[in-house]
Each structure stands twice: as C-alpha cells, then as structure tokens.
C-alpha cells in the first residue's frame, strides 16, 4: 500500500527519523560488534529494517539504500551493488510480470477462472471450491492482488443474487458469503507458493540462494515442493472454512450457474489474440518444467529459467498480431501497470544479503548457533517458520523475507544442516498469513467487500496459521530432502 493511500501515522513519522539515527549511532559506536566492515553493513541493515517494518517511506525506496549508502561507506563498489539489482532472478520475475500483463490485457485470466468455476458445479460447497481452485491457479502465474481483483466482482455477483432471492440473509447464507470471500483471499495467498514467480518472497529466496550460496533452484524443483504444499493447504483451507469454522448447510444455488454463464457469454468466443497468448503461456510453462531435459536433448543451447522468462516477454512485445498495422500483443506503454518497485525491492534485498554474507555476518550467525549443541533441528525449524508466519501478519512479506532468509541460512550452516531444509519452508511461510486484513493485499481486498469482520478472519486464520506451521515442518523434514538431495 502506498503512503498516499492512507494517513501518515505518528509511528511512521517517528520511524522516518529513527532509522537514520540508529544508523548513525551504530556507525559511530565506540566499540566493534563483529568487524569494521560488518558493523557498517549492520548499521545500514538496521536503518532498512526500521523503514521496512514501519513503511515510513515506500519499501521500494528503502531498497535503494544499499545502492546509495554502500559505495559511500566503502562497503562495496557501486558496480558490484548495482549488479544485484540486475540479478537473473529479478529478470525471471520481470518476465513473469510481462506474461501476467498479457493474460490480463486479453482477459484470458478471467476466462480461465470462469471455466474452472463452471466445471466444479453449483452446490454451495462446489462454488466455493471452484472459486478457490480458479484463484489458486491464476495466482501461480499472476500477482495474488490482480487475481483477487478479478475474482471478487464475480463472487460478489453470486453472493448478491443469493442474498436478494430470499429476503434477509440467514446464518447459512452469511456463512456462505464469508467462506467465499475468505476462500478467495486464502487461495490467492496459497496459490502463489506453487511457483517461483507466484509470489515475490519466492524470488527473493531463490535469488539469495543462487547469488550468495551458489545453490540453483530450478522452476521444476520449486514446483515439486510448492505444488504439493499449495494443493494440500488449499484442501485444508476448504475443509476448515466450509466444514468446520463456517459451515453453510445450503442445498443448491442454481442461480449462480446463470451468473457464471452470463459472465462467460459476455467474454464471447476465444479470440485469436487470446489463443496466441495461451500458446505462448503454455509453451513457457512447458519449457520451465522440461528445461533440464531440453538442455540435454539440444546441447548447443543453454536454457535458464530467467532466459525462458525473458524470451516470453520479448515474444509478447515483438510478435505482431497484425503485421500490416504493426499491432502487437503488448506495447511498451502497457508496462505502466508493471510493479517496477517490486523489482527494485528484489535488488535491494539481494544487495543487503550479499553484504551480510561478504562481511561475515551470516557466518557469525552460523558459528553462534553451532556453539549450542543442544538445539533440536525440529524445534528450530518450527520456531523459525512460526516467527516468519506471524511476523508477516504485520509487515511486508517481501521485505521480511529479504531480512530473515540470510539469518535462517546462517542458522542452517551453524547446525550443519542443509540450507534448503530451513530456507524453503520459512520462505513458504511468508505467504501463509491468514489472520489479519492488513497481512496481504488479497486479505485486504476481500475484507473491503463488507462480508467479513476482523474477528471472523482471525478465528479462521489462527487455525490455518497453526496448520501451516505443522505442514511446513513436515515438508522440511520429508519432502525438501527428497527434492534437494
């Protein structure tokens, strides 16, 4: 959320001044914490953390501090810092953004969502399931915010038709509306976990692993972890909402079928432009999944996930829809909708993580942990996942990932354990904020519908948060070692 969209609070005003003051205090401290270079990085890190948590300025502006301050303090040359902002993982997400723009421009994302909903049926529970499946699938490829914005008006049409049909809403009808709204928000959050480009925290973690630890996480490897977790968590969300916390007990909603059919009819038949985008979209997914095999079959080329993503982006801009008129699928003017600030945020997080690694801060954390031989890996894993999950209820999950993942990596090294066994589940936890409206944009968007009260979201969210912790701990112990052996 931008500062212009809300009142600038007293806390933010205080944090705006506190951040640089803490930086100056640490920078001029009469003692050495780790070493002179590391102390400089820690001073900048504290400044960034204060601004990121409070959003005293835009989190993307805060992400520019390494590019501004590191060269001034002699921490790193500006060329080395700037290289982090052009990391391959940044361009991987850029290509994903461009594909999302194309899907939205031709309205293909809405057609996909409506088709999935229509296939699931018209009973209340099936309608909720259909909306959740459609939302989760779209959120794998486009931002969870855009996905929720697409799904909410359709859901409101179904709810409005139901509530108008029988006079004042009873408990069952209110529960149906509540489950539908919460189901969309939670599915948007959970769906993004499934792919690297599904949600920004995934990209931050993958970039850190590749740049600082030399661990390459392919699109397919992430999906081997992300898709099972998303599917399982989606099933848990559905059961918790519909069968346990807010059961509706309704029998049939035949009118909803008319709403979906009407929306689909309004889109008309599949257009030639939609078909081209669908072909490119499907081809890119196939290339991501089969990249390793393609490189083996065609040894004269070397595909990377970021390269595939950029190839898709260039194709969407360069492939004419009408050669004579110069009409392309995407024009550069379309990128005005692209969230450039998120790309800068990735770069700032990677720059900070790189400096923490280069100056020995991460190694220090690892040594500190390794000195304590009594720590249980299971308890450490559960604690780190819980910290990430509950902290992301209160602050940007992207900024939190940038701060927390290097610390988690240091702890893993200190325990002499696989970094992946802690970093991956902790990163996934950043997308499992279910309790509060301000935790994620999808939560805030559905909360604005008027069908949800804060205590209702908290009641369902606390259960789902706890279930998420258990599932992520299990994944960390069982599935992560199988994928990254």
Residues of the chain with pLDDT under 50: 1-5
Interaxial angle between packed helices 65-73 and 78-85, expressed in degrees from 0 to 180 and rounded to the nearest 10: 160
pLDDT of residue 169: 60
Neighbours of 283 (CB within 10 A): 14
Neighbours of 272 (CB within 10 A): 10
pLDDT of residue 4: 42
Within 8 A by CB and 6+ apart from 31, the residues are none
| CA gap 442, 149 in Å, rounded | 8
**239: DSSP letter:** I
pLDDT of residue 338: 83
pLDDT digits (tens, 9 = 90+) for 98-145: 888 888 888 888 888 888 877 877 678 888 998 899 999 989 988 788
The whole-angstrom distance between residue 349's C-alpha and the CA centroid of its chain comes to 15
Tell which residue, 189, 160, 181, 162, has the closest CA to residue 441: 189
- In the chain, the N- to C-terminal Cα span, in Å, equals 40
pTM over the 0.75 mark: yes
Place of tokens 């918790």: 240
């Amino acid at each position: 959320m931008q500062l212009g969209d809300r009142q600038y609070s007293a806390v933010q005003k205080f944090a705006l001044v506190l951040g640089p003051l803490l930086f100056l205090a640490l920078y001029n401290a009469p003692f050495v914490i780790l070493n002179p270079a590391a102390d400089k990085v820690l001073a900048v890190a504290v400044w960034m953390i204060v601004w990121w948590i409070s959003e005293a300025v835009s989190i993307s502006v805060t992400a520019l501090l390494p590019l501004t301050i590191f060269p001034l303090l002699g921490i790193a040359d500006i060329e080395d810092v700037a290289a982090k902002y052009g990391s391959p993982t940044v361009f991987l997400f850029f290509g994903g953004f461009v594909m999302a723009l194309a899907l939205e421009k031709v309205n293909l994302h809405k057609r996909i969502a409506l088709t999935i909903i229509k296939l699931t049926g018209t009973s209340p529970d099936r309608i909720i399931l259909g909306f959740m499946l459609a939302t989760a699938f779209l959120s794998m490829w486009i931002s969870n915010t855009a996905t929720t914005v697409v799904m909410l008006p359709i859901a409101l049409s179904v709810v409005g038709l139901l509530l108008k049909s029988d006079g004042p809403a009873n408990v069952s009808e209110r529960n149906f509306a509540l489950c539908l709204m919460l189901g969309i928000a939670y599915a948007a959050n959970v769906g993004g976990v499934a792919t690297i480009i599904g949600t920004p925290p995934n990209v931050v973690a993958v970039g850190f692993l590749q740049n600082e630890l030399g661990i390459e996480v392919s699109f397919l490897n992430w999906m081997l972890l992300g898709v099972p977790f998303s599917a399982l968590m989606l099933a848990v969300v559905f059961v918790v909402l519909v069968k346990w916390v807010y059961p509706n007990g309704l029998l049939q909603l035949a009118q909803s079928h008319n709403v979906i059919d009407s929306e689909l009819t309004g889109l008309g038949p599949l257009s030639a432009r939609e078909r081209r985008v669908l072909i490119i979209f499907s081809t890119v997914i196939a290339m991501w999944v089969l990249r390793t095999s393609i490189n083996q079959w065609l040894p004269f080329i070397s595909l990377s996930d970021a390269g595939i993503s950029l190839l898709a982006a260039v194709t969407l801009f360069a492939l004419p829809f009408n050669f004579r008129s110069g009409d392309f699928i995407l024009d550069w003017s379309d990128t005005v909708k692209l969230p450039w600030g998120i790309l800068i945020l990735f770069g700032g997080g990677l720059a900070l993580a790189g400096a923490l690694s280069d100056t020995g801060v991460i190694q220090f954390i690892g040594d500190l942990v390794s000195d304590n031989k009594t720590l249980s890996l299971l308890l450490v894993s559960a604690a780190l996942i819980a910290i990430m999950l509950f902290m992301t209820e209160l602050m940007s999950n992207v900024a939190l990932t940038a701060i927390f993942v290097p610390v988690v990596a240091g702890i893993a090294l200190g325990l002499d354990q696989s970094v992946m066994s802690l970093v991956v589940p902790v990163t996934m936890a950043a997308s499992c904020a279910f309790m509060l409206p301000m935790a994620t944009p999808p939560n805030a968007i559905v909360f604005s519908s008027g069908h949800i009260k804060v205590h209702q979201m908290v009641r369902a969210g606390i259960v789902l948060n706890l279930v998420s912790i258990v599932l992520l701990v299990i994944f960390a112990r069982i599935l992560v070692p199988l994928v990254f052996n």
